[in-house]
Amino acid sequence: MMLARQDLIKLWRSGKLCFDPNILIDQINLSSIDLRLGFTFAKHRTQPGVVIRPAQDFDPSQLVENYELSGADDVFRLKPKEFRLGRTLETVSLPATVAAHVHGRSSLARAGLSVHATAPHIHPGFSGPIVLEFFNSADWELEFFPGRDMVCQISLWEVKTPPPLTAIKSLSTYRGQKIPFPPRKRG
């Protein structure tokens, strides 16, 4: 069952759903919570002739460049047809009783921004910033202000039978990630 505004507020105020930095109540909508753009990004390095098999084990450290924007006046720009990884400003901590999906915001999508390519699901018990898969499908450059602009939203779903903490820890690939493209944990 999807959680509506009153459920989201109750879960947040109870301390079971946590954000760091904390959100404002204005970020909670009818059935989603808006999240802000963080300051950490990754871009693919130009690799002419290189073929990767991302579904297999591979080390992304040689293929991507992680970088930070630090100042309040720094701007994140996305050129037409460009792909970048970023993350939310907020670290999100879900209880084992809740899963989430990350979505783009319709007003930004109408300008050409996609915030996830294929990975909207966030597992129960997840804790960390949410990595966003930015793609600009428009013919103009997009720009955003990290720390201020609301670039995505999460919707939350009640989990019928919460998984045990041992399963959450062993099966969570990117739990606690600090950079947008960390090496995969190997189980």
Among all residues, which ones are annotated catalytic? 133
Do you know the residue count of the chain? 187
> Looking at this protein, which amino acid is placed at residue 78?
L
Q: Are 124 and 157 in contact (CB under 8 A)?
A: no
**Which residues does residue 86 pair with via DSSP β-bridges, in sequence order?**
41, 132
Rounded CA separation 154/18 (Å)? 13
CA distances for 140 relative to 1, 15, 111, 137, 144, angstroms: 39, 41, 9, 9, 13
Tokens of residue 109, six digits: 């999508």
